[in-house]
Every structure is written in structure tokens, then in C-alpha cells.
Amino acid sequence: MTASAGGALPDARDIAIGPLDLAARVDEALAVQAAAFGLSAEEVGVRRHIVLRHLASPGARALGATVGRGRLVGFVYGMPNDRAQWWSTVVEPYLRRTGNDAWLDDSFAITELHVLPEFQHRGIGRRLITTLTDGATEPRSILSAIDTESPARALYHKLGYQDLARRVLFPSAPCPYAVMGAPLPLRR
Ligand SMILES: CC(C)(COP(=O)(O)OP(=O)(O)OC[C@H]1O[C@@H](n2cnc3c(N)ncnc32)[C@H](O)[C@@H]1OP(=O)(O)O)[C@@H](O)C(=O)NCCC(=O)NCCS
């Protein structure tokens, strides 16, 4: 452990990245997402069903970042993209308009990536997404992120993700998203 200005935080080398049984630890993962991304209790309940449904998709995989005796401080999950899934049906017309809809095929989709605020900007998000996509057999990866110049978008750009469509509106989401795609393996 290394002391930091804000108190004792584990050294980056003491943060383990490894397979996560997301179905068993969905409540911990959603607590991480709620702290990182901001989710109401009602949204957590909705996400819980969605995550468990996603995990039934063929090839769905999750990784966790843990400290100490296994406290979860970050997670990522994704799956081979399926045009029939809700996310693809929403983004497809936007991608078709920009001539990028072929990205929906042979892509590994990143569904969620979150790191607790006090553990951010220490390389955990980068380790999670690169390790997950390194295990993909697809030649490329696709995801959506809120369409603003956020830390998430900065990370994705550094890893080689490019904008495939902007101002994408998901029903019930309060702000527009960007759809981004990158060749695999991700740029280091
Ligand atoms: C996006 C997120 C997962 C990144 O995780 P992280 O562990 O902080 O990321 P890393 O430390 O690996 O950072 C990698 C790059 O991201 C960018 N980044 C991370 N934090 C940043 C910050 N506070 N400000 C600006 N850029 C930042 C930088 O480009 C950084 O590269 P650098 O280390 O060369 O400067 C994390 O910020 C997070 O959980 N955010 C809230 C939830 C969210 O937006 N999730 C994504 C949904 S699409």
C-alpha cells in the first residue's frame, strides 16, 4: 500500500484485474456504477435486470478490478455485438446514415465500464477495457458514450476509438450519445 495525499489508497500494482462473476456480484458492480456514473435507486433496479439479461448472451464476459480482500473498485463487461439486441436497433439508423453500420457486425461491444471516483485516473479503466478486448476474437470493438468531452471519451480516443455517429438519442436517456468504434487489439 502507498499513502496518497487524500489518505491511504492501494498502489496501482496492488489492484488486481481478473474475471468477475458479475451475476453473483451484480449489486456490488451497480454500486460502483452508481458512484461513478450517478444512478438513482430506481435506475439501479432497472439496470440490475438488464445486466442479468445481458449475461445470458453468448460470449458475454466481465472483468473486475479488486483491492485488498476482493473489494470491487471497477468493472467492465461486454459481448459479441448482436444486431437483434435493443442497443443495436437504436444505433443502427444513425450508423447507416454515416455509412458505418457494418461496424455492428463482427464487433465486440463494450456495455459498461466504471471505476469508483477515488480510484479513477490511475490506469484501472485502461487496464480493464484492454484486458477484456484482448480476449475477444472479433477484429473490432464498438461502444456508446455520452456525447461530451468526458474522461471516458478521452480514454476511448487514446485507445483508438473513433466517432461512428454523434448525437444518438436513446429513448429515456436525458442526453445524446456518441457511438465509437476501434480496431482490435486496442492501441496502447
Ligand atoms: C471512464 C473511466 C472508466 C476511466 O477509468 P480510469 O481508471 O479513471 O481511467 P484511466 O486511469 O485508465 O485513464 C486513462 C485515460 O482516461 C482519461 N482520463 C481518465 N480520467 C480523466 C480525468 N479525470 N480527466 C481527463 N481525462 C481523464 C485520460 O485520457 C487517461 O489517460 P492518461 O492516463 O494518459 O492521462 C472513469 O473515468 C469512470 O468510471 N467514469 C465515470 C463513469 C463513466 O463515464 N463510464 C463510462 C461510460 S461510457
Kindly write down the DSSP assignment for every residue of 86-123, as one continuous string.
Answer: HHHHHHHHHHHHTT-GGGGSSEEEEEEEEE-GGGTTSS
**Residue whose CB lies within 8 A of the most ligand 1 atoms, among 67, 115, 143, 188, for a mutation test:** 115
Q: For the chain, what is the domain count? A: 1
How far is ligand 1, taken at its centre, from the CA of residue 117, in Å?
Answer: 10
Region of 10 please: left (phi>0), alpha (psi -120 to 50) or beta: beta
Sign of CA dihedral 170, 164, 55, 154: negative
Residue 182, pLDDT > 90, answer: yes
CB atoms near residue 129 (< 10 Å) = 23
The set of residues, in sequence order, having a beta carbon less than 8 Å from that of 94 and lying 6+ positions away, is: 165, 168, 179
Asked if residue 52 is part of any domain, the answer here is yes
What pLDDT score was predicted for residue 139? 98
Domain enclosing residue 42, as ranges: 15-183
136, part of any domain: yes
- Whether pLDDT at 176 is above 80: yes
Find the 110 Cα to ligand 1 centroid distance in Å.
Answer: 15
pLDDT value, residue 13 = 76
- Percentage of residues in the chain with pLDDT exceeding 90? 90
What 3-state DSSP class applies to 10? coil
Cis peptide leading into 151, omega within 30 of 0? no
Residue 42 included in any domain: yes
**Which atom of ligand 1 is nearest to 155's Cα?**
16
Is the model's pLDDT at 63 over the cut of 50?
Answer: yes
| Cβ(145)–Cβ(114) below 8 Å | no
> Has residue 3 got a pLDDT over 80?
no
**Whether the CB of 170 sits within 6 Å of ligand 1:** no
Residue 9 within any structural domain of the chain: no
Q: How far apart (Å, rounded) are the C-alpha atoms in residues 95 and 99? A: 6
Assigned domain for 38 exists: yes
CA 75–ligand 1 middle distance (angstroms): 13
The predicted pLDDT at position 126 comes to 98
How far apart CA 125 and CA 5 sit, in angstroms, is 21
pTM value? 0.94
* pLDDT at position 5 over 50: no
Predicted confidence (pLDDT) per residue in 136-164, tens digit: 999 999 999 999 999 999 999 999 999 99
Mean pLDDT of the chain: 94
Which amino acid residue places its CA nearest to atom 18 of ligand 1? 151
- Ligand 1 centre and the CA of 84: distance in Å? 30
* Nearest atom in ligand 1 to 112's CA: 47
The sign of the dihedral angle between the CA atoms of 74, 141, 186, 166 is negative
Q: What is 20-89 written as a DSSP string? A: --TTTTHHHHHHHHIIIII--HHHHHHHHHHHHHHTTSTT-EEEEEEETTTEEEEEEEEEE--TTSHHHH
What's the CA-to-centroid distance between 150 and ligand 1, angstroms?
8
> For the ranges 3-7, 53-57, 106-110, 167-171, which has the lowest average pLDDT?
3-7
Q: Is residue 2 part of a domain?
A: no
Pocket mutation for ligand 1, best pick of 121, 148, 186 (most atoms within 8 Å of C-beta): 121
Question: How is residue 13 annotated by DSSP?
Answer: G
Is 188 part of any domain? no
Q: Is residue 5 part of a domain?
A: no
CATH number at 127 reads 3.40.630.30
- Mind listing the pLDDT tens digit for each residue in 82-141? 999 999 999 999 999 999 999 999 999 999 999 999 999 999 999 999 999 999 999 999
